[in-house]
Structure 1
Amino acid sequence: MTLILAHRGYAAEYPENTMLAFKEAEKAGADGLELDVQMTRDGELVVIHDEKVDRTTDGTGLVKDYTLGDLRKLDARFKFKELSRREQIPSLEEVLEWLAGTRLVCNIELKNSIIPYEGMEEKVIDMVRAYELSDRIIISSFNHYSIVQSYLLAPEIEIAPLLSEGLYMPWIYAQSIKAKGFHPHWRAAPDQIVTASLESGIEVRPYTVNKESELERLFKVNCSAVITDDPAKAKIIREKLFTP
């Protein structure tokens, strides 16, 4: 069955990459999460998509110029100002500690293509191992050197290259870097690519699949997983297609 991974949590209805969005994704029936990791000035791992805090918080500037303590003072409610409670940027540790008490899988995207955060791979891996989550984590990145480095450090943790464009025979590329799957943009995941990859034993988890027609298409070809902003909608579509 195609898994439903909540993109930055339940981002369609809650502030992205916050504990609220992750917890609501679990309640909505997601099978797992997708989240993004950056690094602070004091070397802490934090869960936020952009290199800058401007879009999703009431602060300004680069994540790498903040300490964890200062980042935690920002309000990450983003466009959901009607929420009564402030939301913080979570640390990766906070998320993994909570995740350990669930059955969710988790795709950790290393955001190190623009800013090459020194030692990010080791820190993420050490934390995943500390919470004994190696079998439920997939490390992905657009920086493929980084995920290969992750594999060399921790072959027991799955890696997956992110692909924004179509790649010729992506399953061959995935196999060549010891990845068990890849995460293409949904436009780069036509049926024949998904089918050929699965037949070669390589998993395909497209992002960010929000259109009903695309969710239906990917469910019908038994895609490994879809990464979506709206796990509740995806679950309804999956149930409609597969409930006898």
Structure 2
Amino acid sequence: MIYGHRGARGEAPENTLPSFQKALDTGVTRVELDLHLSADQQLMVIHDPTLKRTTGRRGKVAQHNAADLMQMDARRAIPGWAESCPIPSLDQLFSRFPQMQHYQLEVKSGSVRQSRIVLAAVKELVERYQLQDKVVITSSSRTLLKYAKASGFNLPTGLVEEYALLNPVKAAKRYGCSHLILNWKLCTAERVERAQQAGLHVSVWTVNEEAKMLKLADMGVDSIITDYPARATRLFERSA
């Protein structure tokens, strides 16, 4: 399975509607994206907690209401992109792309309070758009995953693991996760096999080179997350 990273981050401004459209245009109907809360507690699709890198604006996402954030142009990371690309809300994204088959929703959250607000907001939108079987909520925050498990949160979750200071397979199972999202550098055939034997879907990021894609596919990973979904699609069509 191929997931477009922040839509199609290598081909369009990340985490914007044109980026998700670009992924769909290549036939990729699975995407990974990032969520932060606005000041009025709306879920916004943006990676950084601050606005500078993608919009050029100062300040934090959490300091602005959703209506204001949705007027900010987030195309700064792709020089020369012709059209304005406002920061979308998750509500807007779900509404715009009913043909999307699956979402990895990575929550950038730390505290229990934030976790409670974010998970409640995700649940409400997922139920409204009837996407219960089309989302997994992922995070590197043990606090969020622990809260999700303890509160009986009824949507699947996944552990995002970049460094593997502790055993990521055991950690994912401890927090009741169904997915393990690994930095590609952490992937070995043995780790992938152990994760899958534990019932985990293994998704790997960020995989942009063709040789790496093929190597990880040979390891048996369940899905790769790439900035270039068109490149991945062409590769696997050739090698099928």
TM-score normalised according to structure 1 size: 0.90
- The alignment's C-alpha RMSD in Å is 2.0
Match of 1:144 in 2: 142
From 93, 96, 102, the equivalent of 2:94 is: 96
Taking the aligned partners of 2:56 and 2:170, their CA distance within structure 1 comes to: 44
Match of 1:55 among 45, 53, 56: 53
- What is the SS of the residue equivalent to 1:239? helix
2:119 matched to which residue of 1? Answer: 121
Which residue of structure 2 aligns with residue 19 of structure 1? Answer: 17
Mapped partners of 1:72, 1:106: distance in 2: 21
Question: Contact 1:75/1:87 (CA < 8 Å) preserved in 2?
Answer: yes
User: CA shift at 1:82, angstroms?
Assistant: 2.6
The one of 174, 177, 180 aligned to 2:175: 177
The reply on whether 1:37 has 2:40 as its aligned counterpart is: no
Q: What secondary structure sits across from 1:83 in the alignment?
A: coil
Q: Does the 8 Å CA contact 2:112/2:143 hold for their aligned counterparts?
A: no
CA deviations over 1:166-192 (Å, ceiling 9, x no partner): 356533332222111211111011222
Distance 1:29 1:139, change over 3 A: same
For structure 2, which runs of at least 5 residues remain unmatched after alignment? none
TM-score scaled by length of structure 2: 0.92
Identify the residue that residue 212 of structure 1 maps to in structure 2: 210
What residue in structure 1 maps to residue 106 of structure 2? 109
Q: How many pairs were matched up?
A: 239
Report the secondary structure of 1:205's partner residue.
strand
Structure 1 segments of 4+ aligned residues over 6 angstroms from their partners: none
